[in-house]
Amino acid sequence: MSSAAGSSITVPNLLEGEKDTVLSVLGGIYEHSSWVAEAFYESKIANCGADNATTATGSSGNLENVRHLFDAMSAIVDDASQEQKMELLRAHPDLAAKVEKLKTLTKESQEEQGRADLDTLTDEERTKFLTLNESYRTKFGFPFILAVRNASKHTVLAAVEGRIGNSAEVEFAAALAQVHKIAWMRLLTAIDTPDPTGFLTCHVLDTANGCPAANMRVQLHRLSPPETAGLVAEFVTNDDGRLPGGPGLKGKDFQVGVYEWTFFVGDYFARKGTYISGTPFLDEVPIRFGIDDPTEHYHVPLLVSPWGFSTYRGS
Amino acid sequence: MSSAAGSSITVPNLLEGEKDTVLSVLGGIYEHSSWVAEAFYESKIANCGADNATTATGSSGNLENVRHLFDAMSAIVDDASQEQKMELLRAHPDLAAKVEKLKTLTKESQEEQGRADLDTLTDEERTKFLTLNESYRTKFGFPFILAVRNASKHTVLAAVEGRIGNSAEVEFAAALAQVHKIAWMRLLTAIDTPDPTGFLTCHVLDTANGCPAANMRVQLHRLSPPETAGLVAEFVTNDDGRLPGGPGLKGKDFQVGVYEWTFFVGDYFARKGTYISGTPFLDEVPIRFGIDDPTEHYHVPLLVSPWGFSTYRGS
Amino acid sequence: MSSAAGSSITVPNLLEGEKDTVLSVLGGIYEHSSWVAEAFYESKIANCGADNATTATGSSGNLENVRHLFDAMSAIVDDASQEQKMELLRAHPDLAAKVEKLKTLTKESQEEQGRADLDTLTDEERTKFLTLNESYRTKFGFPFILAVRNASKHTVLAAVEGRIGNSAEVEFAAALAQVHKIAWMRLLTAIDTPDPTGFLTCHVLDTANGCPAANMRVQLHRLSPPETAGLVAEFVTNDDGRLPGGPGLKGKDFQVGVYEWTFFVGDYFARKGTYISGTPFLDEVPIRFGIDDPTEHYHVPLLVSPWGFSTYRGS
Amino acid sequence: MSSAAGSSITVPNLLEGEKDTVLSVLGGIYEHSSWVAEAFYESKIANCGADNATTATGSSGNLENVRHLFDAMSAIVDDASQEQKMELLRAHPDLAAKVEKLKTLTKESQEEQGRADLDTLTDEERTKFLTLNESYRTKFGFPFILAVRNASKHTVLAAVEGRIGNSAEVEFAAALAQVHKIAWMRLLTAIDTPDPTGFLTCHVLDTANGCPAANMRVQLHRLSPPETAGLVAEFVTNDDGRLPGGPGLKGKDFQVGVYEWTFFVGDYFARKGTYISGTPFLDEVPIRFGIDDPTEHYHVPLLVSPWGFSTYRGS
């Protein structure tokens, strides 16, 4: 029942686990704060009897997937006292230390922060960052926390610049939101989700002609993570401007990552006779977007004329 | 005064040229129809006296640049009889012949069509294309004409599929529009435009916060032509969400081609504190667009929230 | 089987009718060109035997509704010779005559043009219109034709100004398109469509938060025709941002006319806590749109943040 | 130097005023918290000497308009202790009391809340509101505060529903933001702004043709306040799709209120020949928006094709 290093465990298996297993899997979800995992174990698993995990699931009504697990753990944090929350914030590593050496971080923090390109900071940027970081800690009393995997140095600098102006109340809430987000990301790694419920759909509307863009070629590429990057699939839209055969991505393929649609808009309008040109204003239209939650529906449509387009996260 | 192969000539120099020069430069602009260049020479240059080309320019009021030149030549075509126009259409090479061998094309046609990837047609696509092409010629009485440089086979097929359903009147007009477009593209190559008047601008609006997106990093890459492809410039938007220092592209750099903005939207919203996430829905936003007319202003803005964006050719 | 003045007839009843009935109903659909109705009768009804109209329907495979009827009649026009088409164009009344007196128009033309506010032309506008109209007829050889019911004088002037610059070929095609459109509008009046297949749907997306706009109040008003103008219904969007209970308009209520959604965007964002202000930039958002074809699906969604919105004809 | 009831005073006059005058004008800006006005007087005016108010202005560097005044006063609140802020929140009247009688409100609160249509609450709505309001006060320890003039009952209910779920920290910050907003609205009424610096501009882009929408008729109506409601002006866009002659609204006419553009899109596209129809999908397009800050630039453009449009607060 123990989980080998690097492997992951399903929610049902976790719920059937011994306390040791549960704590080893969930103890580091909230940074240096295994009390969250312990409280979760006590309230959700222990009191249901060791031999009856399904009752635990049943009694909670919905401890069936990673989202439910997150909801239960985050509720424990939200119900904690102001002092406990502050302690949780303070338990996070200071990015400044990271700039020197990678030592006091939990293994999850190491992995996340290690990938950021903070090592490429110029001296000027390093000074700017350390100064901002110090001001932040002095003003708020806890370290700067950012829930972004593989963030560029630009993103980290932008975020600390943006948040340092917040009032104490607003930043306390913002930092807690980051902590929850980090927990969510760690859960997605720690827990095996055998059958992601999320999926990706598309719809192309021709706003020059007021109709679905039928018969348009569309490609989907995964840009990251690098291990599975590449062309995912090629489609031709149906009469309603949608992908034939349902979602463009679902199940195991619906991975957290960065994706890009390529819409062959020039060909489409050439076929419509609406517009042709030597070098069309719009020909191959890329739409780059991130999938962050493997349990949700991502609808990423295109509204397009020969002279402009829109996209958005739809439903 | 003669123009070496491959070189080009300015409009003022052309207008001062002998008839031979004018015809050698302009004779192939309209396919196998040097009568257009001759009529242009007679009406615009010859009758002004060989020693007074500037009067020619002056009397026309506006023969100063390549756009004026095009307007004058295309007006000659538009004023021609229906029979002359039909003859002009019929003077164009049949793409079917091209699929076999490259022979009867003018040198301009060779170059343009040679670059298309028609050679990569599968047998099925080849059959489909030849059938469509034959039907087109039978229906309309002239070959299929498409004014697209470097068009993919998908574009060519899409265009012939789209236009074959037109009525005779509509397609006659559509084919003439293609012919004019080809002439325009050829003029841009044949004529030296020492100081393009066109330029490229940008503007970023934050639609989540209802304000200009200040302090956003933006890159501009040229994707084509391949000879000059690469990073053109990097900017940081000013307080009004615009590029500091004026146009992002102008003068000699404002070349016909395919370009791509990259907007670092994720960093911007991180700084605003509006939204942060493990994998943001929008992080680096590419906007790919073509510049087709070196004499025009291209305004290509971005309207963006953390969950969607729009672009369009503005002014 | 004859149709009383002002009443209308269903397609099945029409197809069972005597030749007289068919001609009296369809004879004026194409202006002063009853030959279209006659050709339709001969090809679609007569040769099926007087006692077996259902065979006629069956044999055509699809003469079941007003759209099929229009397709059959318009195909007859499209297949006619260039001379017949020109004659059809010339059979249309000249708007100039209308400016003096309402005499030679068919009863359908009278009704349509009588409603336009051409009588309110100022002297200057009248002169401008008559001059443009005369130039148009001289250039193209047929009168200016515009398929717009209740058009304002601004619309009529705009249209003639816009089209007078067309080439002969393009305008010939454009005028024929208007003639078909007029025929379609007349058919919708002449034929009883007991159960319109069209319907109206809506969807509200919150682009500031990247989610459906649930629980938003929405009203639908009909602005025209005046006889049935008023509040049609009030809705509250469901969890997917759509109207609960299906289409907002369908069946008999799905009338050709002008409509307006009112979205209570201010209340929605107040509930979200996203944005509140003394006088919000967006509070009640009206979206005004026309329904022109009672056989089609109109999807008219709203994409909205506190600082901007989009709409379009979707699917 | 005293200000007659109902009249207002300019910023320079206020700064030259006696303490009594300053307190009578500013004392009620923050509800039942004249200490803010007193602190403002002491820090900004008193210590500059009674005879040298311009020095006061000068020394602050920017106490020149109502925005500067607000910045100075709101900074005093922001720098106050958590206890003082909580007291300020608690000093606000409870809307529940308002539902019974209008008594303990400052005169400004009476006016603002008196206009809301809370009197039209049904019994069910009244019960819902009182219950929510009581829960809110119990949870957060201060009354529900909403900075919306003339809010409908729907807006008030929506807002309390939306905010009752906030954490204590977030709602504390949200309530303070409302308090600042109320102060801003009260300042705009209390202070005479002889020459508003804000203005309203417009730009119409034709996204079907990729160009400015030139020669489009546009009307501007003021919908509220009712005293000055009506047609403000009618424009015809210039070649760049903008209003000729500069802003559509500026100076004294640039009042806080609700406005509506009407774009005559149908006529425009009729002139372009892009699209004409019996009942166009888009004909007269209204865009309704609020102006909340008389010191800012409001750019409210339209991007439009025959089948859809967008607007946003631009710059």
> What is the bridge-based pairing of β-strands C199-201 and C297-299?
parallel
Query: pLDDT band for position B37 (50/70/90)?
Result: very high
User: DSSP state, B228?
Assistant: G
Asked if D313 lies within 8 A of B210 by C-beta distance, the reply is yes
Q: Stretch C71-93: mean pLDDT, rounded? A: 94
pLDDT in tens, B196-255: 789 999 999 999 999 999 999 999 999 998 899 999 999 999 999 999 999 999 998 998
C311: which strand partners? D309
> pLDDT averaged over chain C?
85
pLDDT in tens, D157-210: 888 998 998 888 889 988 999 999 999 989 988 998 777 789 999 999 999 999
Q: How many CB pairs under 8 A join A and B?
A: 154
CATH 3.30.559.10 fits A199-310, yes or no: no
Chain A residue whose CA is closest to B174: A273
**CA A256-A259-A262 angle, 5° bins:** 160
Q: Of the ranges A107-121, C13-27, D101-115, which is most confident?
A: C13-27
pLDDT in tens, D227-279: 999 999 999 999 999 999 999 999 989 988 999 999 999 999 988 876 566 78
Domain with CATH 1.10.3330.10 in chain A: 11-190
C-beta separation of C34 from C73 below 8 A: no
pLDDT at C276 over 70: no
Q: Of the ranges B55-64, C21-30, C53-62, which is most confident?
A: C21-30
Q: How many CB pairs under 8 A join B and C?
A: 48
pLDDT at B103 over 50: no
Is residue D309 helix, strand or coil?
Answer: strand
Q: Which of A216-220, B98-102, B160-164, C169-173 has the lowest mean pLDDT?
A: B98-102
Q: Stretch B264-270: mean pLDDT, rounded? A: 93
Which among B178, B279, B305 is the top mutation candidate for probing chain C, defined by the most C β-carbons within 10 Å of its own β-carbon?
B305
Give the per-residue pLDDT at A6: 46
The whole-angstrom separation of Cα A62 and Cα A54 is 11
Asked if C205 lies within 8 A of A310 by C-beta distance, the reply is no
Q: Of the ranges B45-54, B133-142, D53-62, which is most confident?
A: B133-142
> pLDDT averaged over chain D?
85
Retrieve residue D7's tokens. Answer: 């009249």
Give the per-residue pLDDT at C99: 63
pLDDT at B109 over 70: no
List residues of chain B with CB under 8 Å from any CB of chain C. 78, 167, 169-170, 172-173, 176, 207-210, 281, 303, 305-308, 310
Which among B111, B164, B276, B296 is the top mutation candidate for probing chain A, defined by the most A β-carbons within 10 Å of its own β-carbon?
B276
Residue type for C275, please? Y
Give the per-residue pLDDT at B99: 62
Cβ-count burial of D35 within 10 angstroms (0-12 exposed, 13-18 middle, 19+ buried)? middle
Asked if D158 lies within 8 A of C268 by C-beta distance, the reply is yes
C-beta separation of D133 from D142 below 8 A: no
Give the per-residue pLDDT at A276: 63
Asked if D310 lies within 8 A of A306 by C-beta distance, the reply is no
Give the closest-approach CA distance of D184 to chain B in angstroms.
Answer: 19
Q: Which of C107-116, D22-31, D159-168 has the lowest mean pLDDT?
A: C107-116
Using a CB-CB cut-off of 8 Å, the residues of chain B touching A152 are 267
List residues of chain A with CB under 8 Å from any CB of chain D. 78, 167, 169-170, 172-173, 207-210, 281, 303, 305-308, 310
- Closest C-alpha among B57, B50, B63 to residue B19: B50
**What are the helix (H) ranges across chain B?**
11-15, 19-26, 34-40, 53-60, 66-78, 82-90, 95-100, 107-115, 123-140, 153-163, 168-190, 265-272
* Radius of gyration (C-alpha) of chain B in whole angstroms: 23
pLDDT at D57 over 50: no
Give the closest-approach CA distance of B280 to chain C in angstroms.
Answer: 11
User: DSSP state, D158?
Assistant: H
pLDDT at D54 over 50: no
Retrieve residue D196's tokens. Answer: 């508003």
Residue type for C258, please? V
Retrieve residue B165's tokens. Answer: 């359903």
Cβ-count burial of C303 within 10 angstroms (0-12 exposed, 13-18 middle, 19+ buried)? buried
CB hemisphere CA count around A208 (13 angstroms)? 21
Asked if A310 lies within 8 A of C314 by C-beta distance, the reply is no
Q: How many CB pairs under 8 A join A and D?
A: 47
The whole-angstrom separation of Cα D255 and Cα D147 is 18
**CA C98-C102-C105 angle, 5° bins:** 90
The whole-angstrom separation of Cα D44 and Cα D47 is 7
> pLDDT averaged over chain B?
85
Residues counted in chain C: 315
Give the per-residue pLDDT at A61: 53
Asked if A208 lies within 8 A of D208 by C-beta distance, the reply is yes
What percent of chain B is predicted at pLDDT more than 70?
A: 84
C-beta separation of C181 from D278 below 8 A: yes
C-beta separation of A22 from A56 below 8 A: no
pLDDT at D139 over 80: yes
Phi, psi dihedral angles at D284 (to 5 degrees) = -90, 120
State which CATH number among 3.40.710.10, 3.40.50.300, 3.30.1310.10, 1.10.3330.10 fits the domain covering B11-190.
Answer: 1.10.3330.10
pLDDT in tens, D59-93: 445 688 888 999 999 999 999 998 999 999 999 98
Residues 6+ apart with CB under 8 A from C94: C133, C137, C143, C144
> What is the bridge-based pairing of β-strands C297-299 and D211-212?
unpaired
Retrieve residue A50's tokens. Answer: 């060791």
Low-confidence spans in chain A with pLDDT less than 70? 1-7, 47-62, 98-119, 150, 274-277
Residues 6+ apart with CB under 8 A from A202: A218, A235, A237, A242, A243, A248, A261, A299, A300, A301, A302
Asked if C312 lies within 8 A of D313 by C-beta distance, the reply is no
Query: pLDDT band for position C3 (50/70/90)?
Result: very low
